[in-house]
Amino acid sequence: MICYPNAKINIGLNVVEKRPDGYHNLETVFYPIPLTEILETVVNIEDEQSFTFSNSGIKVDALPEDNICIKALNIIKKNYDVPPVKIHLHKAIPFGAGLGGGSADGAFMLNLINKEFELGISNEELHNMAAQLGADCAFFINNKPAYATGIGDILQPVNLDLSGYHIALIKPPTHVSTPEAYSGVNPKSSENSLVDLIKLPLEQWKHHIKNDFEKSVFKNHPEIGRIKMELYEAGAAYASMSGSGSSVFGLFKEAPEIKTHPEYFKWIKQL
């Protein structure tokens, strides 16, 4: 069976408070985007091993057994019988980008195994399993625009449709660690909820919707801040860093022409 895990962007991100467990409560809107990779499973009953894993495309900096796809498989296997399976991942979403590619792989793997072997796992249980894999993993189970609170795992659907807009996504080679990004923010609850702010006309978002990570990340890595500026100069109606970076996206009414450093990842598409 085959599926196509996709990336997400964060439209606004407020770090609300630090929790006793070290994590942070936040407020964000997750929006799925059609930057996809390929995840394939083939049943392999002849095999003695419970799984084999191979990957192509962008090389992930994790050992095969630490790959989130395998972690997802192991979470299911705690409570369900799964026959030996060959897994192949063709990676196309840059990681360490704030695009949630690893989280998407984990959640799509849970959905895939559930469907392929007709395990009948409920949507609620899939959400719980995904939340064990990563804070923003649960979003990818339903993969629909959502307002997220808690550590990013409490989800409420939102009526947000960016169809027709062109998205430009740029990522420099810079790596921003997620814990480092959280430690650079002074948590504070915001006056207006993102649920209301996203109802404003998109042209007004830049005056009201912010990503709390930008201030310290742009200070430590000025090249990321420059990308945001360049996206506005290229005519973006709204531009923001996604999640904890290092990718930055711009939303445009017309297809933009954007020149970047040859080493930067660049992806432009009409939504």
Ligand X SMILES: C[C@@](CO)(OP(=O)(O)O)[C@H](O)COP(=O)(O)OP(=O)(O)OC[C@H]1O[C@@H](n2ccc(N)nc2=O)[C@H](O)[C@@H]1O
Ligand Y SMILES: Nc1ncnc2c1ncn2[C@@H]1O[C@H](COP(=O)(O)OP(=O)(O)O)[C@@H](O)[C@H]1O
Known catalytic residues are 8, 136
Query: Which residue, 147, 220, 221, is CA-closest to 190?
Result: 147
Q: Tell whether residue 106 is a contact of ligand X (CB under 6 A).
A: no
Q: Tell whether residue 244 is a contact of ligand X (CB under 6 A).
A: yes
Q: Is 179 annotated as a binding residue?
A: no
Task: Give φ, ψ of 130 to 5 degrees.
Answer: -65, -40
> If contact means CB under 5 to 8 A according to the sort of partner, which of ligand Y, ligand X, none does residue 62 touch?
ligand Y
Q: Tell whether residue 136 is a contact of ligand X (CB under 6 A).
A: yes
Q: Which is nearer to ligand X, 136 or 214 (CB)?
A: 136
Q: Tell whether residue 16 is a contact of ligand X (CB under 6 A).
A: no
> Please, which residues have CB within 8 angstroms of residue 91's CB and are 6 or more apart in sequence?
37, 55, 56, 57, 58, 59, 60, 101
The residue from 32, 134, 184, 250 that contacts ligand X (CB under 6 A) is: 134
Q: Is 201 annotated as a binding residue?
A: no
> If contact means CB under 5 to 8 A according to the sort of partner, which of ligand Y, ligand X, none does residue 239 touch?
none
Q: What is the dihedral of CA 60, 31, 200, 168, to 10 degrees?
A: 50
End-to-end CA distance of the chain: 26
Task: Give φ, ψ of 139 to 5 degrees.
Answer: -55, -40
Q: Is 57 annotated as a binding residue?
A: no
Q: Is 22 annotated as a binding residue?
A: no
Site string for ligand X, 58-97 (x = CB under 6 A): ----------------------------------------
Token output for 256: 């933009």
